[in-house]
Homo-oligomer: A and B are copies of this chain.
Amino acid sequence: MLKPLGDRVVIELVESEEKTSSGIVLPDSAKEKPQEGKVIAVGTGRVLENGERVELEVSVDDRIIFSKYAGTEVKYQGNEYLILRESDILAILGE
- How many copies altogether? 7
The contact size tier of chain A is 35 or more
Query: Closest residue of chain B to A90, judged by CB?
Result: B83
Could you tell me the distance in whole angstroms from the C-beta of A84 to the nearest C-beta in chain B? 10
Interface string of A1-13 (1 = CB under 8 A from B): 1111110101000
B90 and A23 contacting across the interface, CB-CB below 8 Å: no
6 contacts between A and B (CB under 8 A): A1-B95, A5-B89, A23-B77, A26-B75, A29-B73, A50-B51
Query: Using a CB–CB distance below 8 Å, which chain A residues touch chain B?
Result: 1-6, 8, 10, 22-27, 29, 31-34, 41, 44, 47-52, 54, 57-58, 65, 67, 71-78, 80, 83, 86-87, 89-95
